[in-house]
Amino acid sequence: MTTNRIDGKEVAAQVTENVKKRVEVLKEKGLTPGLAVVLVGNNSASQTYVNNKTKTCERLGMYSVMVTLDENVSEEELLQNVAALNNDEKIHGILVQLPLPKHINEDRVISAISPLKDVDGFHPENVGKMMIGQQTFIPCTPFGVMKMLEYSDIDVAGKHAVIIGRSNIVGKPMGQLLLQKDATVTYCHSKTKDLRAMTKQADILVVALGRAKMIDASYIKDGAVVIDVGINRDENNKLCGDVDFESAKEVASKITPVPGGVGPMTIAMLMENTCLAAENTLK
C-alpha cells in the first residue's frame, strides 16, 4: 500500500499564516496579542519547546515574555508570578510549562491561571467547558491533531478511534474531541490487557504512550490512519516517535512522521489560542 504522510509543517504553516493575519487586524485596533511562558528549572527538552514558542510568537508579530524560575522556586513564588501575569494587560495567554518539579502542586498552579488566559486549556473550568462542548480553549496538541485530520479530509464520524495514553494534556482531551466529531472512542493505557487486539481495531490510532518506536505494523489495521504524538530519542540519539514509522507506513493509509508531524501543530495551535484570547478581550 502506498503510504501517505501527513505533513505537520505544511498544516502548521497554514494555521500560523491565518493567525498572522488575525494579529495584523488586532494590531490595527491597537491590540498586540501577548503570551507569557513560564519555565521552572532547566529541563533541556522543556527549554527547547519554550524557546520555540516564544520565537514563533515573534515571527507572527505577537508579544511574548519568558519567565524563567529556579528549579528550587517555592510554590508560593510561582503562584505570585502567575498572579502578576493574570493582572498584566499586555499578556493574553499564560502557559506554565509542564512537568513542574515534584515539590510543586501542578493542579494548584494550573487552577491559579485565569481561565480567560489559559491558552493550554488545562484549567478545570475550561476542561469542563470542553467536555460539554462549550466554546473554550482546546489543549494545543489534541487541537492540532484535529486540524491535521480535517486538513487531510479524514472524516471521523462513525470511525473507531483508539487512543493509547490517558494524560490530561493529550489522551483524555483527544478522546473527547474525537467523540464530539462522532467517532467511537476507545482509550488504552498501561493497564490495558492485549493492547494489540485493541489497536488492531482502530480506523484512527492516536499514539501518546512515550516509548520510542513501540508501535509497529503488527499493531495496525490495514488502511488505518496513524497519528504519532511521541517525541523520543532512538538508540542513535535521533528524534523519533512512539510509532516505528518505517514499519507502520507499510500498512497505514495516512501517518504522521516524527519530527515534522504533530510537534509543529502544537505550537501553531498555541498561537491560535493566544490570538483568540486577545480577540476575546474585545468582545
Q: Which stretch binds ligand GUN (CB under 6 A): 63-71, 93-101, 235-243, 254-262?
A: 93-101
Contacts of 109 (CB under 8 A, 6+ apart): 75, 78, 79, 82, 96, 100
Q: Per CB under 6 A, which of residues 156..195 are in contact with ligand GUN?
A: 169
Task: Tell whether residue 95 is a contact of ligand GUN (CB under 6 A).
Answer: yes
Residue 101 CA to residue 168 CA, distance in Å, equals: 17
Lookup: cell for 58? 515573534
The least distance separating ligand GUN from the CB of residue 95, rounded to whole angstroms, comes to 5
Closer CB to ligand GUN, 43 or 186, in the complex? 43
Residue 95 CA to residue 270 CA, distance in Å, equals: 9
Is 7 known to be catalytic? no
Q: Which stretch binds ligand GUN (CB under 6 A): 6-14, 72-80, 96-104, 210-218?
A: 96-104
Which residues are annotated as part of the binding site for NADP(+)? 165-167, 231
The least distance separating ligand GUN from the CB of residue 121, rounded to whole angstroms, comes to 9
How far, CA to CA in Å, does 137 sit from each of 134, 159, 272?
A: 10, 25, 10
Residue 47 CA to residue 43 CA, distance in Å, equals: 6
The least distance separating ligand GUN from the CB of residue 172, rounded to whole angstroms, comes to 13
Which residues are annotated as part of the binding site? 165-167, 231
Task: Tell whether residue 96 is a contact of ligand GUN (CB under 6 A).
Answer: yes
- Among 16, 141, 199, 256, the residue binding ligand GUN under the rule CB under 6 A is 141
Contacts of 137 (CB under 8 A, 6+ apart): 118, 119, 120, 121, 126, 273, 276, 277
Exposed e or buried b per residue across 214-225, where buried means at least 16 C-beta atoms within 10 angstroms of its C-beta:
bbbbebbbeebb
Closer CB to ligand GUN, 64 or 141, in the complex? 141
Binding mask 242-271 for ligand GUN (x = CB under 6 A): ------------------------x-----
Lookup: cell for 143? 487541537
Task: Tell whether residue 79 is a contact of ligand GUN (CB under 6 A).
Answer: no
Beta-bridge partner residues of 240: 232
Residues of this chain that bind ligand GUN (CB under 6 A): 95-98, 120, 140-141, 169, 266
Question: Annotated active-site positions, please?
Answer: 53, 97, 120
